[in-house]
A = this chain, B = another copy of it.
Amino acid sequence: MALIVQKYGGTSVGSVERIEHVADKLIDWRKRGHDLVVVVSAMSGETNRLFELAHSISEHPVPRELDVLLSTGEQVTIALLSMALHKRGYDARSYTGSQVHILTDNAHNKARIREIDSQRIHADLKAGRIVVVAGFQGVDDEGNITTLGRGGSDTTAVALAAALKAEECQIYTDVDGVYTTDPRVVPQARRLDRITFEEMLEMASLGSKVLQIRAVEFAGKYNVPLRVLSSFEEGDGTLITYEEEGMEEALISGIAFNRDEAKLTVLGVPDQPGVAHKILGPVANANIEVDMIVQNIAEDASTDFTFTVHRNDYRKALSILEDIAKELGAREVIGDDQIVKISLVGVGMRSHAGIASTMFETLAREGINIRMISTSEIKVSVVVDEKYLELGVRALHEAFELDQAG
């Protein structure tokens, strides 16, 4: 008998029928003797409907009121799910973020959880109740309703699991786990039984949209075992946890990729201290997020400075850079928005040399030219022309034998 926190996303509670299905699943777990705390999102489509209502009134709805509005989405789901449980003869209680004191900072629309008062939930569990909590929302210390930003329900679930010292936090979604890469690109892609928090962070930030990245960070920080599994199919999903002694360690866990990248290069930048800041400062001020950054050694007292941004920000970044280039006396600004990033991720890299060279060799064999390289302790990323994405990912998946259990 363990305490388990489960989270069901918008698609899993997208209709009355699906909510009934979730109720059935919960009762199965309950019958196996587990204590359950359930976090739910708004029914799919509901958050968009509310957004549209807000935007039909104001192009820039005031953030505090947007949170008051959006938080009703999850509130509807918790009530309906609790009703479905009661109908089946199980005692359940629903709580909004405010009711269980999911205390956040006051950054409306993107608040961060500070603290959760778990007393009330423990009392309900003791009384044999299933506790149903609205995801995505909290309350600041003045009692204002806050939301955690899109996908924030994952974070709510992990934060609750941490506060309640749950045995496991299970994220039910429409995929049945984390894969070695996107199965739409590589049909042989294999579901991973386990992955580490760090690997998951690299995978998530690189475009595997299974879990909200903040939720993974949170789970890692508080060491909450996190499991991704399907709410529609049976199966054990993928467990995200810390490396354990004796845990069978794959060299590479997966291949992530990102189609939404564009790269920009300032050529012939005078090689002076502070030049990186002079280039990236104005870009950051324009709220453009920078991903990879590469600067090569200087030749002839000048250097080339390259970075990637989201493709949507390409034009804006280009025009900012052209101004900066003039100021700095750089030679030229060039760019390309037809590129993609492919990354190998795996904690096994730490102890194994030669991963990067196998990667480069594999790509070369396929005639794929590498435009940029960047590495971290558990990741090697390359930028290649967009047209090579599928070819590159498939070749790497095969080269590292990811279709076979590690």
Binary per-residue interface labels of chain A (60-80) against chain B in the complex, 1 for a CB within 8 Å, 0 otherwise: 011011101101100110111
- Given A98-B98, A99-B143: A65 in contact with B53 (beta carbons within 8 A): no
Residue numbers in B under 8 Å from A78 (CB-CB): 65, 68
Stretch at the interface among A83-91, A210-218, A260-268: A83-91
Among B58, B66, B143, contact of A87 (Cβ-Cβ < 8 Å)? B58
Note all chain B residues with C-beta closer than 8 A to A196. Answer: none
Q: Decide if A57 touches B75 in the complex (CB within 8 Å).
A: no
Tell me if A279 is interfacial: C-beta within 8 Å of chain B.
no
Could you say how many copies of this chain the assembly holds? 2
Is A356 an interface residue when CB atoms closer than 8 A count as contact? no
Q: Are B16 and A56 closer than 8 Å at their CB atoms?
A: yes
Query: Contact: A79 with B84, CB < 8 Å?
Result: no
The residue from B16, B57, B66, B87 contacting A53, defined by CB atoms under 8 A apart: B16
Name the residue in A54, A57, A61, A145 with the highest tally of chain B Cβ atoms < 10 Å from its Cβ: A57
User: Is A20 interfacial (CB-CB < 8 Å)?
Assistant: yes
Contact A87 B16 (CB under 8 A): no
CA distance A61 to B16 in the complex (A): 14
Given contacts A68-B94, A99-B143, A143-B99, contact A58 B76 (CB under 8 A): no
Q: A68 to B61, Cβ gap below 8 A?
A: no
Chain B residues near A145: list those with CB within 8 A: 96, 99
Q: A80–B66 Cα gap in the complex (Å)? A: 8
The A interface is mostly helix, strand or loop, or mixed, namely helix
Q: Does A106 contact B (CB under 8 A)?
A: no
Q: A57 and B94: CB pair below 8 A?
A: no
Q: In angstroms, how far is the closest chain B Cβ from the Cβ of A105?
A: 18
Beyond A57-B16, A80-B53, A84-B57, is A93–B75 a contact (Cβ under 8 Å)? Answer: no
Interface residues on A, range: 35 or more
Q: Are A62 and B76 in contact (CB under 8 A)?
A: no
Answer yes or no: A82 CB below 8 A from chain B CBs. yes
In the complex, A204 has a CB within 8 A of chain B: no
User: What is the 8 Å Cβ interface bit string for chain A, positions 82-123, against chain B (1 contact, 0 not)?
Assistant: 111011000001101011000000000000000000000000
Picked from B53, B61, B62, B76, the residue with its CB within 8 Å of the CB of A50 is B76
Task: Give A308 to B119 CA distance when docked, in angstroms.
Answer: 52
CB <8 Å contact, B68 and A54:
no
Contact A57 B98 (CB under 8 A): no
A57-B84, A83-B58, A84-B57 given as contacts; is B93 within 8 A of A64 (CB)? yes
Q: Which residue of B lies closest to A56 (CB)?
A: B16
| CB <8 Å contact, A83 and B57 | yes
Say yes or no: A80-B57 contact (C-beta < 8 A), given A62-B86, A72-B72, A75-B72.
Answer: yes
> CB distance A54 to B72 under 8 Å?
no
A20 touches B57 (CB 8 A): yes
Within the assembled complex, what's the spacing in Å between the Cα atoms of A46 and B145?
A: 21
CB neighbours (8 Å) of A58 from chain B are 83-84, 86-87
Contact A79 B68 (CB under 8 A): yes
Considering the complex of A and B, which 4 residue pairs feature the smallest CB-CB distances, nearest first? A69-B79, A72-B72, A68-B79, A65-B82
- Would you mind naming 18 contact pairs between A and B with Cβ atoms under 8 Å apart? A16-B53, A19-B57, A50-B76, A53-B80, A54-B80, A54-B83, A57-B84, A57-B87, A58-B84, A58-B86, A62-B83, A64-B82, A65-B80, A66-B79, A68-B82, A68-B94, A69-B75, A72-B76
